[in-house]
Amino acid sequence: MGKVAVGAAVVCAAAVCAAAALVVRHRMRCSRKWARAMAILREFEENCGTPIGKLRQVADAMTVEMHAGLASEGGSKLKMLISYVDNLPSGDEKGLFYALDLGGTNFRAIRVLLGGKHGGVVKQEFEEVSIPPHLMTGSSDALFDYIAAALARFVATEGEGLHPSPGRQRELGFTFSFPVRQTSIASGNLMKWTKGFSIEDAVGQDVVGELTKAMERIGLDMMCVSALVNDTVGTLAGGRFYNPDVIAAVILGTGTNAAYVERAHAIPKWHGLLPKSGEMVINMEWGNFSPPNLKIPFILRTPNMSAMHHDTSSDLRVVGSKLKDILEIPSTSLKMRKAIVELCDIVATRGARLSAAGIVGILKKLGRDTVKDGEKQKSVVALDGGLYEHYSKFSTCMESALKELLGEEVSDNIVIEHSNDGSGIGAALLAASNSQYLEVEES
């Protein structure tokens, strides 16, 4: 019996040793694989590096491309589109104004009551409407008739005190977030559809004209479009309404863009009469920007990716590629979570610092990147977009990079302000500041 017990003990001990050896080997393999995961992460971090010297080069390159884009059409990687907005809101606007925000499979109708000087936005209401899939590939008339009908139903819900003055049309700001070649403050021809839309007979047409004809067909003739804008210009308008020191706006969400207020005489490609304000809002379309001769583009690439138009989804594809590499390596869930958080922070830090360099490029173009003769000039940049609003790591890194690039003295005069819903309220405010009745009210 004793021999049996000893034999059993020996067998058990051998089994335990074998199991322990397997555990040790497994842990060693996991350790090696985790080391490889960390190596992938470190390499990615190095490739995403944004040292201050490179950021200064990005800012300088941005300024150069801005000059080139203002000089001639197609002369720059920045489109530098003339928005025809030369009269931004002042905060004194008064009355009832509407906005229509069309940028995807849903659209919004917005109603805003403005209280005049010191009155601000007294009341705002909106309704969101889904667009049936068949209308996204049908005819121009069918789409705009559907939108006009929904707009008419929304107008019919005006409550007490929410009516235009007798004899006046309701005025609308139209946010149309598709590529448009703008021809005036209230007209622009559709260049192409995106976001799943494919309506051939609308391409090349004036989208304001298409909406206007649809409103007339259903009897909504007491409404006119006073401004055609995109969300970035709307964000700038919303910021200026509350703060006269706002000189630029930046969108940081699923995509990115910037707009700013330029001196009209500094736009060589502008051939019209100089506006009374002496200013013109420029829609930069800076998502196209990639600094020449720098190994630090606005887009992220992996060896298997070609260059692509920059938007946040481009960055997400790269993050997804690296996540796939890391997730294939066994590890504890806690380690994995930490690695994923670190990966996201690497991309956020890079994007935030590049955004700061872009803003500095705008400030340099306007001569607001230095303190001249001891004069401190306040410059406010209005920001909107979920990335900036909801990702604190991003906003903190961006503002830190601005201070690093500009220095304490100048950065003290640069203010970043959140400006919400440029595609909605901003468009209504532009309808107000470009109202056909302004001269009547001033006389």
Residues 6+ apart with CB under 8 A from 59: 357, 358, 360, 361, 364, 405
- Cα-based distances in Å from 86 to 143, 273, 324: 31, 12, 48
Six-digit token string for 159: 């409550």
pLDDT of res. 278:
94
Confidence of residue 358 (pLDDT cuts 50, 70, 90): very high
Which DSSP state fits 372?
Answer: B
Report how far residue 180's alpha carbon sits from residue 189's, in angstroms, rounded to the nearest whole number: 5
Quick one: pLDDT at residue 323? 56
Query: Three-state SS for 197?
Result: coil
Beta bridge partners of 110: 99, 126
What is d(CA 77, CA 286) in angstroms, rounded to the nearest whole number? 8
Q: Let me know: does 255 contact 231? Beta carbons within 8 Å.
A: no
* Amino acid type, 66: M
Dihedral, CA of residue 28, residue 32, residue 34 and residue 35, to nearest 10: 140
What pLDDT was estimated at residue 9?
A: 46
pLDDT at 294: 58
What is the rounded average pLDDT of the residues 103-112? 92
Helix orientation angle between 333-365 and 52-71, rounded to the nearest 10 degrees: 50
Residue with tokens 């001033």: 442
Question: Any idea of the CA torsion for 267, 270, 276, 277, to the nearest 10 degrees?
Answer: -40
Looking at this protein, which amino acid is placed at residue 92? D
Average pLDDT over residues 289-308: 51
When pLDDT is cut at 50, 70 and 90, the band that residue 302 belongs to is very low
Burial class (CB in 10 A: 0-12, 13-18, 19+), 368: buried
Distance of alpha carbon 387 from alpha carbon 371, whole angstroms: 31
| Confidence at 74, pLDDT banded by 50, 70, 90 | confident
Over residues 414-433, mean pLDDT: 91
Q: How far apart are CA 404 and CA 267, in angstroms?
A: 30
pLDDT computed for residue 40 by the predictor: 79
Please give the Cα distance from 242 to 432 (Å, whole number).
14
Tell me the percentage of the chain whose pLDDT exceeds 70: 81
Q: Which residues contact 414 (CB under 8 A, 6 or more apart)?
A: 363, 368, 379, 380, 381, 402, 406
Q: What is the DSSP letter of 227?
A: E
**DSSP run (H or E) holding 96:** strand 94-102
Burial 298-317 (b: 16+ CB within 10 A, else e): bbbeeeeeeeeebbbebbee
Which has more pLDDT, 376 or 76?
Answer: 76
**Bridge partner residues of 113 (DSSP):** 96, 123
More confident residue, 283 or 309: 283
The pLDDT score that the predictor gives to residue 112 is 95
Please tell me the predicted confidence (pLDDT) of residue 45: 84
Q: Which residue has the higher pLDDT, 294 or 201?
A: 201
Give the pLDDT confidence score for residue 427 in this predicted structure: 95
pLDDT at 35 over 60: yes
**What interhelical angle do 52-71 and 392-406 show, nearest 10?**
80
Task: At 266, list the tokens.
Answer: 């500094």
Q: For the segment 231-267, what is each residue's pLDDT rounded down to a tens digit?
A: 999 999 999 999 999 999 999 987 889 999 999 999 9
228: burial class by Cβ within 10 Å (0-12, 13-18, 19+)? buried
Task: Examine the pLDDT at 90 and tell me if it is beyond 90.
Answer: yes
10 compared with 414, residue with greater pLDDT: 414
Q: Report whether pLDDT(309) > 90.
A: no
CB-CB neighbours of 169 under 10 Å: 14
Q: Residue 311 has what pLDDT?
A: 46
pLDDT score recorded for residue 2: 53
Residues forming beta bridges with residue 249, ordered by sequence position:
259, 382
Say if residue 327's pLDDT is above 80. no
Judge whether 170 and 96 are in contact, CB under 8 Å: yes
What is the end-to-end Cα distance of the chain in Å, rounded?
117
What is the mean pLDDT of the segment spanning 2-27? 47
Of 107-111, 242-246, 289-293, 314-318, which range is least confident? 314-318
- pLDDT confidence of residue 21: 47
CA dist list (Å): 229 to 99, 207, 235, 348: 10, 11, 10, 29
Beta strand 180-184 with 170-176 is unpaired
Residues 120-157 have pLDDT tens digits of 999 999 999 999 999 999 999 999 999 999 999 999 99
pLDDT by residue (tens digit) across 360-412?
999 999 999 988 776 778 999 999 988 888 888 899 999 999 999 999 999 99
> Higher-confidence residue: 20 or 379?
379
Mean pLDDT of all residues belonging to the chain: 84
